[in-house]
Chain A
Amino acid sequence: MGLATLVLADARFPGGGHVHSGGLEEAVARGLVSDVPSLETFLLGRLRTSGVVAAGFAAAAAVPDATAVSPTSDNHPLTRPSPLVSGDGRYSDHRHSQEWWAELDAELDARTPSTAQREASRAQGRGTLRAVRAAWPSPVLDELVAVNPRPHHPLLVGAVCGIAGEPPEEAARCVAYLAVSGPASAAVRLLGLDPFAVNAVLVRLGPVLDAVVEKAVTDHLPAPSAPVLDLMAQAHVHHHRERVRLFVS
């Protein structure tokens, strides 16, 4: 992994990720996750559904910033066709334009039916933006933020990878990993699970993570869904109005 994806995937990255549990808190409150085996099942399901969607969009957004990286270098992602751009030669003009970001933004909205999950994605994007702007200033970010001041988190991660010259595969891996590492950490905090056992679960997900990354970079903006996660995200917000919830999502 390059430095950008290492930093973005670090639990100590100051982007506000630690206040989100990815539906884990609601699952714990309902008794669906109570120990390490049930956590593993939860994480597997999350990785294969919302993890794939997020990774797909991070990969799509991770086209390089032409001002930072030479597009003529070998093995460069620019040589891959974008799923969003036809082969009529518009590619280099279109990418990173507001129109291009707006298209990705709308497509991700469409794949996120739960308003609570859309809100959680944008909250994490907005949080990450502060740290990203300080570390990787770029006009690419201005274009993304012009579309929505609260960009979806996977799009922002992809944008940073593009700016830093890291390939779409790495952006996808970073976001897919975050889709499970955040809830895993929340489980340690909420249930007091053995942190070594939880860490081992994350490592056991390795082959699935690889498959998710592969799908993210080869499929045309994948759209698997997880209706129970959608419903639990909605319920989490609803319950927060009635009693204490420790995580935002």
Chain B
Amino acid sequence: MNADQHGHGHGHLISFDPTETDHDHHEAAPQSGRAVRIGIGGPVGSGKTALVAALARSLGDRVRLAVVTNDIYTTEDADFLRRNAVLPPERVEAVQTGCCPHTAIRDDITANLDAIETLESRFGDLELVLVESGGDNLTAVFSRGLVDAQIFVVDVAGGDKVPRKGGPGVTTADLLVINKTDLAPLVGADMDVMTGDATRIRGALPVITQSLVEDPAATEVGAWVLEQLACAPVPS
């Protein structure tokens, strides 16, 4: 139900209806004149790099994009992207975080901003920069000073209780991805429990379940990313 049609003859500016799914009109818009920045975070091994690779493959022809990877396994991840010929090497910048991946995306975003600006000055016409955090814990979220929107990636093999545990990543990310759904029967994860908990805890914020084995193009997440680009102001 819309805020202005809730049954007693007048409208409210602010809706208190938790099922309200209208876009938040007060969200900070990305600055014009630069690429949209999307952060991809989540625990170690949940499939962040594989998702970045899938997005680069599926969107690379349509969107001028570049990637920033954060350690701990900086060289590992950057090499993975380059080796798979997903992106030419000059479109991948690796950041070292001094053993503190969450610090580099949240408390002190300097190293990541430097990497983004390096890419932006190298390619003047970038539309999208994906910033992949180092694998961290459920409390790690990106600073709004670093990214315009963020995806938090968890996987079914990490246990079907993860969404219920919450934490800022699961509860506040603009998109929650529950990854590796093809493994659910093998690890005894109950998808209904995971998606039910996730939806309950996140309210109106979207949740996507996916298996990159079954859908190597990450179609749904790719569509969500394109929506973010469409929302961004036209570069001036």
Contacts and interface: CB of A to CB of B under 8 A. Distances in A.
A220 interface: no
Nearest to A17: B108
Central interface residue in B72, B97, B108, B114, by most chain A CB within 10 Å: B108
For chain B, which range describes its interface: under 10, 10 to 19, 20 to 34, or 35 or more residues? 20 to 34
A12 interface: yes
B110 A247 contact: no
A16 B107 contact: no
Interface stretch (B73-81, B155-163, B168-176, B177-185): B73-81
B114 A127 contact: yes
Interface stretch (B4-12, B54-62, B98-106, B195-203): B98-106
Contact of A248 (B75, B100, B103, B111): B111
Contacts of A20: 98
A3 interface: no
Contacts of A17: 108
Contacts of B73: 244
Contact of A12 (B95, B96, B107): B107
A126 B97 contact: no
Contact of A21 (B95, B98, B108, B110): B98
A245 B75 CA distance: 9
B71 interface: yes
Contacts of B113: 130
Interface residues of A, number: 26
Contacts of B76: 244
Contacts of A248: 96, 98, 111
A189 interface: yes
A208 B49 CA distance: 47
Contacts, number: 66
A18 B74 contact: no
A18 B108 CA distance: 8
Nearest to B73: A244
B109 interface: yes
Given A14-B108, A15-B110, A190 B75 contact: no
Contacts of A19: 95-98, 104, 110-111
Contact of A247 (B98, B103, B108): B98
Interface in A91-111: none
Nearest to B134: A246
Contacts of B75: 240, 243-244
Central interface residue in B99, B111, B114, by most chain A CB within 10 Å: B99
B99 A246 contact: yes
Contacts of B74: 244
A19 B108 CA distance: 10
A116 interface: no
Nearest to B103: A18
Contact of B96 (A14, A190, A243, A245): A245
Contacts of B111: 16, 19, 127, 248
Nearest to A186: B98
Central interface residue in A20, A128, A245, A246, by most chain B CB within 10 Å: A246
Given A245-B96, A247-B96, A16 B71 contact: no
A39 interface: no
B96 to A, nearest CB: 5
B72 A246 contact: yes
A18 B100 contact: yes
Given A243-B75, A244-B75, A244-B76, A127 B110 contact: yes
Given A123-B114, A244-B71, A246-B72, A15 B98 contact: no
B96 A246 contact: yes
Nearest to A131: B110
A126 B110 CA distance: 9
A20 B76 CA distance: 20
Contacts of A247: 96, 98-99
Given A16-B114, A243-B75, A189 B99 contact: yes
Given A189-B100, A244-B73, 12 more contacts: A16-B108, A18-B100, A18-B103, A18-B104, A18-B108, A19-B98, A19-B110, A127-B110, A127-B111, A127-B114, A247-B99, A248-B96
A-B pairs, top 6 by smallest CB distance, nearest first, are A16-B110, A127-B110, A14-B108, A19-B98, A189-B99, A18-B98
12 contacts: A13-B108, A16-B114, A17-B108, A19-B111, A127-B110, A128-B110, A130-B110, A189-B98, A240-B96, A245-B96, A246-B71, A247-B98
Interface of B: 71-76, 95-100, 103-104, 107-111, 113-114
